[in-house]
Amino acid sequence: MKVTALGGGHGLFATLRALRNTNSEITAIVTVADNGGSSGRLRSEFNSLPPGDLRMALAALCGDDEWGRGWAEIMQYRFTSEGEMNGHALGNLLLTALWDRDGDPVGGLDRVGALLKVVGRVLPMSLDPLTIEAKFLDGNVIRGQVEVGSYRGTLEELRIMPTRPETSIPRAAREAIEAIADSEWITIGPGSWYSSVMPHLLLEEELESILSSQAKKLIVLNLDDPHGDELSGTSPHHHLAVMQRFAPSLRFDIALADTSAARYGSALESKVREMGGRLVLADLTQKSDPHHHDWEKLASAFSHIFSTESVR
């Protein structure tokens, strides 16, 4: 079964770790708007895609043997020093080196994927590094993934823009559009809503591909985390309302949430039905950290949904 997973960061990492245990043919499509940390520094210096979220996706799909696991650990290794190397992940440097040498972001990802023996393929949502810009009700216009993600306010407008001056309109990667069109299932989320989830619905070509795809669509809702992303402390149906506001034509089949979301009752169920879907509740949290998804529990939930929905 062909599954395309949309997202970025730690949320997509959990989804991909889960999917690789469902015997699915997986394609990850990853946001490319990060401007912080090692990724932001490399992006600025080399005018390249930010590599961090792409690196994490590759690590999540690494081969389940000594070679794959070992290389995944190496890709995630971060330098600690008093100099300019401090904070850089080795995988970020490797990806940036390949892109700088060959000028081929997708080819570089495929080469590293072959090295790690990844189960599936990792693609950027765009071949251009993107910038997130948000306007809030207080009148402030905030630009940059890190800055938008840390700002607290009522959102009025959200958009993505190309960073390179020679590109006037953000473009979707052709391979990403082809993967979406060829999917049997599309998953979206979890993750930082404005910076990891919503960009996939703000890129016009990608949204059109999602809307026209015959694939079943599954939204993985975020867990409650008072110290989480820019929407922390808000309800899951508010997350869906944000999605609906910027992509009003979007319909999905399943909204997957942790059992703790049951306390939102009819408000959540009504919003899910309004967007064409069915709410599925399952225990999805880590025992040691209830604010993060347990990928093994996610895998179990995915397997159940994929098997039951295929016969509905």
Domain spanning 1-31+173-312, CATH class: alpha beta
* pTM, full prediction: 0.95
Among 14, 116, 19, 110, residue whose Cα is nearest residue 64: 116
Longest Cα–Cα distance in the chain: 58
What are 103-159's pLDDT values in tens digits? 999 999 999 999 999 999 999 999 999 999 999 999 999 999 999 988 888 889 999
Partner residues linked to 7 by β-bridges: 30
Domain ranges across the chain: 1-31+173-312, 32-124, 130-162
Report the DSSP beta bridge partners of residue 128: none
Reply yes or no on whether the pLDDT at 170 is more than 50: yes
Q: Establish whether the linkage from the previous residue to 165 is cis, with ω within 30° of 0.
A: no
* Cβ atoms 267, 237 nearer than 8 A: yes
Contacts of 161 (CB under 8 A, 6+ apart): 130, 131, 133, 170
| Three-class secondary structure assignment of 55-102 | HHHHHHCCCCCHHHHHHHHHHHCECCCCCCCCCCEHHHHHHHHHHHHH
Residues 10-36 have pLDDT tens digits of 999 999 999 999 978 999 999 999 999
The total of other beta-carbon atoms located within 10 Å of residue 287's CB is 8
Residue 47 pLDDT: 93
